[in-house]
Chains A and B, each alone.
Chain A
């Protein structure tokens, strides 16, 4: 009997039963599905996006963004100030991420133990989980030379005495194409799509794609009895007429840090201290472009291979906001939509496309009283919206990051540097760039801000007054619900979050399996 369903093709209502139902098939859901099925539990995976595989990945932005991303890769915060890149496909964001695989920084864990009572979250206690997941997903430092885009960061930083390092990536036999963000066409990326999900399916798990989890239904004892879902149309925009009901002993929310809080809110699960959806973090990301004298071809080659944590650790975590420096791939749609100018200014910028490089700064939010993050709320149609207000504290870091990136780009020999701000123009000298950056009005929709890392909203912690789940990801108030994704992080990570999710979910899924069998 087949165990893979596309709910957009359902012609009637469907009911499924399993030991464990998992909402979402990204880093959290995929990891949990493999581990729970290895323990002999019957698992069902529910995914709102489509089940696309390598043969479908044509490396075309016009196909990948509408099909593989939330809201066609144009998801916005409530005031439209931040563009959020989040996957929506079997494999979740792991299908479209840029493969950077960092363990949770030790200082982040220190902060979680001190401030959130997560006493078990020590570097030593988590290391075996990270090691095991790194082996499972073939995580290793990228051995090929960085592409020219990453080389700008490496050379510029070196010229200024700023240390950089090589990014660990979850790839096997990578062709160095540069299209990770559109789905890996060669199955080199060790995403959930080709690792844990097939592994769970081979152990009898069920996968339903194009289905939206609507709400948990509580029984008289306050446990979840079932999960009500809507079959979605083939584009994933509108529900069809058919409902999907899932009965299980245990339910896992792994729908990402916007989807999971939204599911709990729609379900009206007990939330006596109104914590669900609060403290949602983004690693708000600012961007600096540079035109180099040489061809860069930033669309080609491993997108992220060089990074610098220098600006994360020059001040205490709860001091001025720190930032991680990385590099983004540049493709025509991503680049042109991110450039703020229009008309001939933009056309001229796009004419330098092959010589353009960029650096991004990911601000580490959530470690300071003026960085409480955002709040997930529900719209009238039940879909989520993230309200993420910016504070002067965060803007100060954004300005400092634009300044630091311009310095690095000029040190690498940039002909012009273009900080992504409405008031910017291409600057030919560092002095001009710095003077302009110092004077930029730092506001939403003037400073370009993006995010590819949504975290928090169902924080874990020892104190139910300040958190939604405990350190094992178990819901504080509903016995048979767990949250297994990046929404459990009580702060941002300060690094690309996928390996943090893999490791922490591996820990918590093993504990859950022991409790259920």
Chain B
């Protein structure tokens, strides 16, 4: 089995597992644990530890602004990341998220980013776009970039 077939079967496994009763539903606490692990790697060097709550809140707000069908896609993605079999098969992350190392998470993001499967690249893109929207929309992210914020009109 080559790498592409392996990933293809992993996706099929994930869909099966997800469809077999582990219904897609928001599990806010465990989803937050996943995002609390991914966020500092996605935004390494920019997101300070004491801004984690702002980042997680920003992520929730960004998801809430999507259409119901896209919110469903995001929930499905979070489900695949949450369930241990698909976390292992699809993301290649062996330990639970809160124990996974920075390098393991960076390797997972890199695999998805350059995956031969457009679906995994789009999942990376979704995590990346939501993370950046959640953080760089926040005034606290701006000083490091030099962005002064919007002009004062009066």
Interface of A toward B, CB cutoff 8 Å: 58-62, 65-66, 71-72, 74, 76, 79-81, 177, 179, 185-186, 235, 237-238, 299-300, 331-333, 335-337, 339-340, 342-344, 346-348, 350-351, 353-354, 379, 381, 383, 422, 443-446
Contacts and interface: CB of A to CB of B under 8 A. Distances in A.
Contact of A342 (B41, B65, B69, B137): B41
Closest A-B pairs by Cβ, 5 of them: A62-B137, A59-B150, A347-B45, A66-B65, A72-B65
A445 B121 contact: yes
B67 interface: yes
A331 B121 CA distance: 24
A347 B43 contact: yes
B151 to A, nearest CB: 6
A342 to B, nearest CB: 5
Of B109, B121, B125, B150, most buried by chain A (CB within 10 Å of CB) is B150
B141 interface: yes
Contacts of A186: 153
A422 B122 contact: no
B145 interface: yes
B90 to A, nearest CB: 16
Given A299-B147, A337-B129, A350-B145, A74 B66 contact: yes
B108 to A, nearest CB: 11
A62 B113 contact: no
Contacts of A350: 46, 136, 144-145
Given A342-B109, A444-B118, A446-B121, A336 B136 contact: yes
A79 B136 contact: no
A336 B153 contact: no
B5 to A, nearest CB: 19
Interface residues of B, number: 43
Contacts of B132: 333, 336-337, 339, 346
Contacts of A347: 43-46, 144
B49 interface: no
Contact of B145 (A74, A332, A344, A444): A332
A333 B137 contact: yes
B44 A344 contact: yes
Nearest to A332: B136
A284 B137 CA distance: 26
Interface of B: 41-46, 58, 61-62, 64-70, 106, 109, 113-114, 118, 121-122, 125-126, 128-129, 131-133, 135-138, 141-142, 144-147, 150-151, 153
Contact of B68 (A62, A76, A237): A237
Nearest to B144: A351
B113 A237 contact: no
Given A186-B153, A299-B147, A235 B133 contact: no
Contact of B138 (A62, A351, A422): A62
A179 B29 CA distance: 37
B122 A343 contact: no
Contact of A58 (B69, B128, B141, B150): B150
A343 B41 contact: yes
Nearest to A182: B150
A350 B147 CA distance: 10
A387 to B, nearest CB: 13
Contact of A354 (B43, B44, B128, B146): B146
Given A59-B150, A60-B137, A72-B66, A353 B145 contact: yes
Nearest to B46: A347
Nearest to A79: B118
A76 B145 CA distance: 27
A46 B58 CA distance: 31
5 contacts: A72-B62, A72-B66, A80-B118, A337-B129, A346-B132
